[in-house]
């Protein structure tokens, strides 16, 4: 009964509170920060331009930054110390510290959004959270990576701004095990629901990337089918299949990351009419979905 009352309390909170993505700053655009969370594994962190020396086995980044990924005065990133700094590649250099980082989709995404809607989004704040080689179970609620992502996301709001979307690219590691591949859809949808719950944003736009690569061909298709089969409100999927890969056959090249960033931007721009307006006709649908998620959590844990 106590758990049920807690669920009802959370439902009431969800219905009464304004969502994170529907609170645009009323000040001038230069004071508005549109915040995007970048999470997942290596292809979100970025390995474009990273090559492995076949002699030494040491991975190095070639240092080449495409024009679409060069710094922009309106694009910032939250560094490891939770401080906003001018964004520059590699975005995840101080986050995914155990690996060599290169070009990812984040900068190309941000600059493509600005090119189309600078007056709407104002400044862009990127919150890098991706860690290479991680299985989706390592992102479950309560895990180190999950808690770190939520902590960084909440810290990004301290000086104002709104979290506009989660950009998620993960799943390659789940193609190494049939059990993981078959469980992926349920784990993924649970993860999306948990993020929305903990950020108190039931309609948070989420843009995920369907895999371009992995380890076992049949399992790649199972995970891709799971990703493409997600049918949650305000979740969109862009398909990376066919984008050029580095010689390792797993990581996207720098030009591919630029293309992916533009694809993510196109997907996000489709959210703008509903995601940053106060449209009363659409918001109840998101609240209803959020309520269902909470009730399902209650039923499966009671």
Q: Which residues pair with 51 in a beta bridge?
A: 60
Q: Which residues pair with 85 in a beta bridge?
A: 77
Report phi then psi at 242, rounded to 5. 95, -10
Q: Could you give the CA distance from residue 252 to residue 45 in angstroms, rounded to a whole number?
A: 11
Annotated active-site residue in 42, 74, 173, 213: 42
Annotated active-site residue in 174, 201, 251, 274: 251
Two structure tokens written together for 132: 């290479």
Q: Which residues pair with 84 in a beta bridge?
A: 78
Beta carbons of 146 and 154 less than 8 angstroms apart: no
The burial of 51, by beta-carbon neighbours within 10 Å (0-12 exposed, 13-18 middle, 19 or more buried), is given as middle
Q: Could you give the CA distance from residue 114 to residue 112 in angstroms, rounded to a whole number?
A: 5
Beta carbons of 95 and 128 less than 8 angstroms apart: yes
Beta carbons of 121 and 114 less than 8 angstroms apart: yes
Annotated active-site residue in 18, 31, 62, 248: 248
With a CB cutoff of 8 Å and minimum separation 6, the contacts of 54 are none
42 labelled catalytic: yes
Helix or strand run (H / E) with residue 198: helix 178-198
251 labelled catalytic: yes
Nearest by Cα to 128 from 195, 71, 174, 82: 82
Q: Catalytic residues, which ones?
A: 42, 248, 251
């Amino acid at each position: 009964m106590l758990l049920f009352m807690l669920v009802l309390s959370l439902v009431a909170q969800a219905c009464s509170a304004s969502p994170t993505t529907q609170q645009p700053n009323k000040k001038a655009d230069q004071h508005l920060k549109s915040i995007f969370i970048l999470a997942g594994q290596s292809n979100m962190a970025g390995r474009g331009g990273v090559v492995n020396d076949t002699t030494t086995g040491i991975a190095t980044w070639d240092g080449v930054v495409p024009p679409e990924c060069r710094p922009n005065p309106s694009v910032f990133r939250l560094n490891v110390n939770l401080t906003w700094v001018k964004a520059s590649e590699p975005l995840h250099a101080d986050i995914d510290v155990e690996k060599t980082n290169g070009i990812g989709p984040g900068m190309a995404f941000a600059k493509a959004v600005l090119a189309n809607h600078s007056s709407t989004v104002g400044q862009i704040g990127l919150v890098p959270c991706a860690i290479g080689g991680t299985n989706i179970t390592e992102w479950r609620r309560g895990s180190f990576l999950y808690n770190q992502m939520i902590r960084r996301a909440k810290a990004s709001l301290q000086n104002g701004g709104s979290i506009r979307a989660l950009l998620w690219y993960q799943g390659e590691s789940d193609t190494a095990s049939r059990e993981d591949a078959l469980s992926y859809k349920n784990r993924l949808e649970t993860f999306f629901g948990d993020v929305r719950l903990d950020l108190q944003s039931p309609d948070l736009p989420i843009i995920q990337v369907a895999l371009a690569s992995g380890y076992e061909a049949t399992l790649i298709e199972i995970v891709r089918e799971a990703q493409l089969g997600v049918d949650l409100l305000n979740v969109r999927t862009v398909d990376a299949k066919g984008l050029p890969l580095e010689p390792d056959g797993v990581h996207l090249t720098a030009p591919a990351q630029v293309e992916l960033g533009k694809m993510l931007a196109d997907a996000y721009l489709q959210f703008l009419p509903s995601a940053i307006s106060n449209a009363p006709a659409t918001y109840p649908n998101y609240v209803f979905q959020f309520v269902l998620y909470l009730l399902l959590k209650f039923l499966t844990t009671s």
